[in-house]
Amino acid sequence: MTATLEVNELRKQFSVGRPAVDGVSFAVPPGEIVVLLGPSGCGKTTTLRCVAGLEHPTSGTISIAGRVVSSPAQGILLPPRLRDIGMVFQSYAVWPHMTVRQNVVYPLKHRKIGKTKSTRMVDEALALVGLSEYAERPVVALSGGQMQRVALARSIVYRPQLLLLDEPLSNLDAKLRLRLRDDLRRILKQTGMTALYVTHDQSEAVVLGDRIGVMREGQLLQMGTPSEIYNRPADLFVANFTGATNELTGTLIQRNGTFGTVEIGQGQRVEASLLHGLAPGDKVRIAFRPENIAIGANSGGNIVRARVSDRRYHGTQTVYDIDVLGHRLEALELGTAARHEIGTDAAVSLPRDALWAYRDQGSLAEK
């Protein structure tokens, strides 16, 4: 069984500080994976813990499979064990004195499932996470990635209607994290489970999520498919957080449909996509990705003068610092050759689809 999760106007105020979660609403349809993505302290874990019933929300409603499990206004607060959810956390949370099989069968013991059936369910769960051959091993004789698979198998063995995962890969080394990240999506999709996954890692969010919700300071700024988040970020924060780290400032001169002409200083003008409702005369900030700057101006789009002030060779790519009208920008070029020398003047091209103009509400760094 897999279920819809609905979170409506969720708010959690701890005894100190600003609200950890502040009016968050979203829905996860059956079988979908939604990832909550945001920087440390933005309220991801608190949201997840409210869904699990481990935290008491201040207000708002949470429903699982159409049943209200939490609503302070109605005096409803279902305990975690009655919510039929599975949970996987950052720490491996396996029982060290048991074997893999004993760990995974554990949740079934409380559910009064017969021996034959429970053996089959454990075998299925172990096969899903690729640990069939390790069933009889003590968990202490496993690697970190294998232990996290045991934790995953244990949380899906009873086929809960909803799976909650809080940064389950963050204790693993980089290589293992990448492998398990890809496996995890396959495993979740094979079970067909509805999942809510929390991380501060963009690449994890993009690979795993059917949809991503970007959070900041207790609020959900945008919820959309990875492609929507990456190609139409709703605001400057989402753009920056997902890698569009370059910024130019200017004034909107005129609108041309969904594009606009922006004066960026010294008479220099660029065409940019308008992602906010903007009018001529408005001050704007333009965000764009380092990989969308082409040094050498041969690929069309807006052409601006720049100076290469530094470069960092990374082997398969090179990152350049370039100065454009007093702004320090980063440009990234793929390839094993670093082609531009420090100190040279170059024209750079900036495609207008990749330049996103937002109303200037001050730099995020200044806030």
Ligand X SMILES: Nc1ncnc2c1ncn2[C@@H]1O[C@H](COP(=O)(O)OP(=O)(O)OP(=O)(O)O)[C@@H](O)[C@H]1O
Number of residues that bind Mg ion (CB under 5 A): 1
240 binding Mg ion? (CB under 5 A) = no
| Identity of the residue, 171 or 309, whose beta carbon is nearer to ligand X in the bound complex | 171
Structure-token pair, residue 269: 């003008």
Q: Pick from 2, 45, 146, 240: which binds ligand X (CB under 6 A)?
A: 45
Query: Hey, which residues between 21 and 50 contact Mg ion (CB under 5 A)?
Result: 45
Q: Pick from 3, 24, 42, 223: which binds ligand X (CB under 6 A)?
A: 42
Give the residues across from 288 on adjacent strands.
246
Q: Pick from 3, 34, 44, 94: which binds ligand X (CB under 6 A)?
A: 44
Are 334 and 317 in contact, with CB atoms under 8 Å apart?
yes
Q: How many residues does the chain have?
A: 367
At its nearest, how many Å lie between ligand X and the CB of residue 72?
17
At its nearest, how many Å lie between ligand X and the CB of residue 57?
12
Site string for ligand X, 6-35 (x = CB under 6 A): --------x-xx--x---------------
SS3 173: coil
- The item of ligand X, Mg ion, none sharing an interface with residue 304, based on CB under 5 to 8 Å by kind, is none
Q: What is the DSSP letter of 313?
A: E
| Identity of the residue, 45 or 273, whose beta carbon is nearer to Mg ion in the bound complex | 45
Q: Are β-strands 283-288 and 246-256 bridged in parallel, bridged antiparallel, or unpaired?
A: antiparallel
At its nearest, how many Å lie between ligand X and the CB of residue 312?
27
At its nearest, how many Å lie between ligand X and the CB of residue 310?
31
Question: What is Dmax (Cα atoms) for the chain?
Answer: 78
Q: Are β-strands 194-199 and 162-166 bridged in parallel, bridged antiparallel, or unpaired?
A: parallel
At its nearest, how many Å lie between Mg ion and the CB of residue 129?
23
Q: What is the DSSP letter of 126?
A: H
| Identity of the residue, 90 or 231, whose beta carbon is nearer to ligand X in the bound complex | 90
Query: Hey, which residues between 191 and 210 contact ligand X (CB under 6 A)?
Result: 200
| Identity of the residue, 45 or 61, whose beta carbon is nearer to Mg ion in the bound complex | 45
Structure-token pair, residue 140: 């202490």
At its nearest, how many Å lie between Mg ion and the CB of residue 90?
8
| Identity of the residue, 22 or 333, whose beta carbon is nearer to ligand X in the bound complex | 22
CA 358 to chain CA mean position, Å: 22
| Identity of the residue, 42 or 131, whose beta carbon is nearer to Mg ion in the bound complex | 42
For residue 260, give Cα distances in angstroms to 162, 202, 282.
Answer: 44, 29, 11
| Identity of the residue, 145 or 168, whose beta carbon is nearer to Mg ion in the bound complex | 168
46 binding ligand X? (CB under 6 A) = yes
* Angle, helices 100-109/144-156, rounded to nearest 10 degrees: 20
Are 230 and 206 in contact, with CB atoms under 8 Å apart?
yes
| Identity of the residue, 168 or 290, whose beta carbon is nearer to Mg ion in the bound complex | 168
Q: Is 316 exposed, middle or buried (0-12, 13-18, 19+ CB in 10 A)?
A: exposed
At its nearest, how many Å lie between Mg ion and the CB of residue 48?
8
- What is the rounded distance in angstroms from the CA atom of residue 155 to the CA atom of residue 107? 8
Q: Are β-strands 33-37 and 194-199 bridged in parallel, bridged antiparallel, or unpaired?
A: parallel
Are 218 and 22 in contact, with CB atoms under 8 Å apart?
yes
3-state class percentages of the chain: helix first, strand second, coil last, to nearest 5: 30, 35, 35
Number of residues that bind ligand X (CB under 6 A): 13
| Identity of the residue, 42 or 153, whose beta carbon is nearer to Mg ion in the bound complex | 42
Structure-token pair, residue 2: 């897999």
Q: Pick from 23, 41, 80, 144: which binds ligand X (CB under 6 A)?
A: 41
56 binding ligand X? (CB under 6 A) = no
- The item of Mg ion, ligand X, none sharing an interface with residue 188, based on CB under 5 to 8 Å by kind, is none
Interface residue list for ligand X (CB under 6 A):
14, 16-17, 20, 38, 40-46, 200
Interface residue list for Mg ion (CB under 5 A):
45
